[in-house]
Amino acid sequence: MKSFLQGFTYHAKGLSLAFRRPRLLFWGILRLAVVLLLTVAASALVLVYHQEILNAVWTRPESRWILWLWVLLSWLLSLFLMGVAAVLSYLVAQIVFAVLVMDYMSRITEKIVTGHVEEPSGGLLKVLLYLIGQEIPRAVLPVAGSLILMVFGWLLPFGPLWVLLSSAAAVCFLAWDNTDLVPARRLLPFGERFGLFKKNLLFHLGFGLPFLVPAVNIFLLSFAPVGATLYALDRMGKAPGTGDGAA
How much is the average pLDDT of 6-33?
Answer: 92
Q: How many domains does the chain have?
A: 1
Question: Residue 244 domain-assigned?
Answer: no
Amino acid 170: pLDDT: 80
Whether residue 247 lies inside any domain: the answer is: no
Closest CA to 207 of 9, 14, 25: 9
Range of the domain at 166: 2-235
Summarize pLDDT for 144-191 with one digit per residue, the tens. Answer: 666 666 666 556 665 566 677 777 888 888 888 889 888 888 878 888
Q: What is the pLDDT of residues 34-93, one digit of tens each?
A: 878 877 887 777 777 766 766 676 676 667 767 777 677 777 777 767 666 766 666 676
Report if residue 243 sits inside a domain: no
Residue 240 domain flag: no
